[in-house]
Amino acid sequence: MDDTNKKLCKEFESEMWLLIDHSLGKERKKFWQAHLVSCSACSSLLKTSTETIEQYNQVPFDDLSDGSYKNIISTITAEDEQSKHIVIPIKENRTLFEIFGFYKLTFGGALVAAAIIFLFITFINDPKIPEIKEVLPKQILSWNDNQTADRLERVGDQIYSLKTDEWDIYFIRKNKQENWNKALSSIQKQIRKMQKEVTSASM
């Protein structure tokens, strides 16, 4: 047997099982079938291996008793059924997390926080909030000492006088307009008078 054949026979030792398994491709199967025709060592190996396997297959299977088998099956399936019906006892003093669960409680908390922020923003920035009155009634002012009350009254008066000044300015402006109109009409009268004098002199 030459080296190439030896190598092939060594390869056959492993691939023989794939040949028996029918897991070899068509080409490879043909190749080994051709080799088996020409190589007595490999065909002998295949024969004796198949016989040994058959001899092993003659040994009857072992078995467990029917009772043991039924016990095993019922134990497995019953165990699973029990685990599906586990009842969790309810504690008397349960925490909020235990009652509502972590996610529900977190979500609820977030909702409440959002509502508080919304209300806060709405009332603080409300433009309808009434302005502070400029003139405060004396009854309110009398709660504090007289000095403070006087100062506040003076401020009140100043605000009032400021308002009065505005009225004065208004009247002055109005008067100025009237005076201006009067001045204009007297100028116009003077011009007409001078025109008459010029015309009478020329005649």
Partner 1 sequence: MKNDAVAFGKLIQDYRKQLFSYLLRLCGDRMTAEDLFQETLIKVWKGFKSYNERNKFSSWLFSIAHNVAVDSIRKESAKNIVHSFEDVQTIAGDNNPHKAFVEKETNELVMAAVNTLSEKQKQVFLLRQHSDMTFKEISEATNQPLNTVLGHMHYAVSGIRKKLSKEYG
Which residues lie near partner 1 (CB under 8 A)? 13-18, 21, 23, 48-49, 51-53, 55-64, 68-70, 72-81, 84
Nearer to partner 1, 69 or 120 (CB): 69
Nearer to partner 1, 4 or 83 (CB): 83
Nearer to partner 1, 81 or 178 (CB): 81
- H or E element in which residue 180 lies: helix 146-202
Burial class of residue 42 (count of CB atoms within 10 Å of its CB; 0-12, 13-18, 19+): buried
Nearer to partner 1, 7 or 138 (CB): 7
What is the closest distance, in whole angstroms, from the C-beta atom of residue 94 to partner 1 in the complex? 31
CA distance 82 to 90: 19
What is the closest distance, in whole angstroms, from the C-beta atom of residue 81 to partner 1 in the complex? 6
What is the closest distance, in whole angstroms, from the C-beta atom of residue 80 to partner 1 in the complex? 6
User: Following DSSP, what letter does each residue of 66-118 receive, concatenated?
Assistant: HHHHHHHHHHHHHHHHHHHTPPPPPPSS--HHHHH-HHHHHHHHHHHHHHHHH
What is the closest distance, in whole angstroms, from the C-beta atom of residue 114 to partner 1 in the complex? 41
| Residues 149 and 142: beta-carbon distance below 8 Å | yes
First to last CA, the chain: 168
What is the closest distance, in whole angstroms, from the C-beta atom of residue 40 to partner 1 in the complex? 17
Burial class of residue 105 (count of CB atoms within 10 Å of its CB; 0-12, 13-18, 19+): middle
What is the closest distance, in whole angstroms, from the C-beta atom of residue 38 to partner 1 in the complex? 21
Nearer to partner 1, 77 or 146 (CB): 77
Q: Is 4 helix (H, G, I), strand (E, B) or coil?
A: helix
Q: What is the DSSP letter of 59?
A: S
Nearer to partner 1, 56 or 143 (CB): 56
